[in-house]
Amino acid sequence: MTASSHPGTTAGRTANSVAPQRLTVLGATGSIGESTLDLVGRNPERFDVVALSACRNAPRLAELAIRHRAKTAVIGDAEQYGVLCDLLSGTGIRAGCGPQALIEAAEEPADCVMASIVGAAGLAPTFAAARQGRRVALANKECLVSAGDVFLSEIERAGAELIPVDSEHSAAFQALAGSDRKALERIVLTASGGPFRTWDLDRLSRAAPEEALRHPNWSMGRKISIDSATMMNKGLEIIEAFHLFPVTAAQLDIVVHPQSVVHCLVFYTDGSVLAQLGPPDMRSPISYALSWPDRMATPVARLDLVKLATLTFEAPDEARFPALRVAREALARGGSAPCVLNAANEVAVEAFLDKRIGFLDIAAKVAATIEAADVRGMIKSLRSLDDVLAADGESRKLAQSLLQPHIANG
Ligand code: NAD
Ligand code: MG
């Protein structure tokens, strides 16, 4: 069951139930994971924490697992397993490590799984949660980008619920509630424009990772912060929205809104526009994904529109931020093209963070990888998670190989 179908019941907690929601958080040590657990810590009676996972930070994972009385804690990196076991010894919390343990954690009986592992690493565990028919609170946008149709059919088949966490999609989900779908005309996602909104091309060509990581409004993980600077994040979000909501690509637009107060606007055929507003704090959309169809109180700052006084909007500039166009073209190409886009982007972002390529090379390398994949006949339809993982792996190799000449030339 997808967010767009607005079911009347929920898999676990119902509107009047008092039973705590059994919650697993995949990617517990990340920006979304920590925000989720912040809400859990403020409402301990609402939640029963089942499993928590992290990639490498065993001390933080153990601390969170102990504080929230998790049953299981899983670390992705096998080298950190010993540290995790030592820290959890005597607590009764089960420790696990590696990709299979992550999948098993996602499968443990729970009402809701917060899917907040970054990147394609989140695919298999998120699929595992979906197959159990859980509520999947989806932060990992790469899942919809790389595996859109395959993922949605797993959700459908298992009778799972898919609730978006990404702020713009949570906003659209809220602005679509109870509406006549036939009257839906357009969905406009807002973009902050990132730290380089006003920079010219020459300056962008010299932008350093530290500058790109300094987002003006949101505090987020490193990968999505770079995606915000290139605006690839909005490209990924267009693809995400395409899968989540009953619209065509042509009905999805982006508008740059530097204050990040309006998160999404839904246009209807009668000329009405429903927008969702809120401060740029992910605890708001996270809380909605956890508590839907109810709302839960959060400590996020309340909007003061008089103090804000002015909200501004501008058209995105695809000449300076070509990633938007590259992502739209991948969506139009269809098949595995968005999967290639995502894999190549992950490789390019890592290379930029390692100072192996420049800022403007990110979108260029992604576009070049998609072209090269097309020439090699690698763009094909994807039918299963295995197909998706194979396409992802192949695309990473291709993207890496396209980075080589750049490195050789200095
Ligand atoms: P982050 O980098 O802060 O955290 C990522 C989490 O995933 C960490 O717990 C990390 O340990 C874990 N992880 C990373 N690689 C892993 C691997 N190979 N195996 C197992 N675990 C791994 O990222 P984030 O900003 O919290 O973003 C998480 C996801 O949510 C991303 O897909 C992002 O696009 C999406 N998202 C984030 C925000 C935000 O405000 N941070 C907003 C919208 C969507
Ligand atoms: Mg977003």
In eight-state DSSP terms, residue 314 is: B
User: Are 15 and 99 contained in the same domain?
Assistant: yes
User: Are 403 and 254 contained in the same domain?
Assistant: no
CA separation for the pair 106, 127 (Å, rounded): 9
Which atom of ligand 1 sits closest to the CA of residue 143?
32
The H-assigned helical ranges of 250-310 are: 283-291, 305-308
- Of 167, 186, 207, which residue is a domain's last? 167
Distance from the alpha carbon of residue 19 to the mean position of ligand 2, in angstroms: 31
User: Are 249 and 147 contained in the same domain?
Assistant: no
User: Are 19 and 127 contained in the same domain?
Assistant: yes
The tens place of each residue's pLDDT in the chain, 410 residues long, gives 454 443 333 344 444 557 999 999 999 999 999 999 999 999 999 999 999 999 999 999 999 999 999 999 999 999 999 999 999 999 999 999 999 999 999 999 999 999 999 998 999 999 999 999 999 999 999 899 999 999 999 999 999 999 999 999 999 999 999 889 999 999 999 999 999 999 999 999 999 999 999 988 888 999 999 999 999 999 999 999 999 999 999 999 999 999 999 999 999 999 999 999 999 999 999 999 999 999 999 999 999 999 999 999 999 999 999 999 999 999 999 999 999 999 999 999 999 999 999 999 999 999 999 999 999 999 999 999 999 999 999 999 999 999 986 554 44
Report CA 190 to chain centroid distance, whole Å.
15
Q: Is 220 in the pocket of ligand 1 (CB under 6 A)?
A: yes
375 in any annotated domain: yes
In which residue are the tokens 């959309």 written? 285
CA separation for the pair 149, 136 (Å, rounded): 16
Task: State the burial class of residue 373 (Cβ atoms within 10 Å of its Cβ: 0-12, 13-18, 19+).
Answer: buried
SS3 category, 85:
helix
287 in any annotated domain: no
User: Are 211 and 142 contained in the same domain?
Assistant: no
Domain that includes residue 370, residue range: 323-408
User: Are 84 and 219 contained in the same domain?
Assistant: no
- For residue 217, which ligand has an atom nearest its CA? 1
User: Are 29 and 151 contained in the same domain?
Assistant: yes
- Of 144, 167, 190, which residue is a domain's last? 167
User: Are 142 and 233 contained in the same domain?
Assistant: no
User: Are 78 and 174 contained in the same domain?
Assistant: no
Q: Which of 31, 75, 218, 286 has most ligand 1 atoms within 8 Å of CB, for mutation?
A: 31
Distance from the alpha carbon of residue 183 to the mean position of ligand 1, in angstroms: 35
Report CA 82 to chain centroid distance, whole Å.
30
CA separation for the pair 59, 77 (Å, rounded): 13
Q: Is 204 in the pocket of ligand 1 (CB under 6 A)?
A: no
Residue having the nearest C-alpha atom to atom 4 of ligand 1 = 30
**CATH number of domain containing 72:** 3.40.50.720
> In total, how many domains does the chain have?
3
Distance from the alpha carbon of residue 405 to the mean position of ligand 1, in angstroms: 30
- Of 118, 133, 167, which residue is a domain's last? 167
**CATH number of domain containing 374:** 1.10.1740.10
Q: What angle do CA 306, 311, 317 make, to 5 degrees?
A: 165
Report CA 400 to chain centroid distance, whole Å.
23
Predicted structure pTM score: 0.94
User: Are 135 and 177 contained in the same domain?
Assistant: no
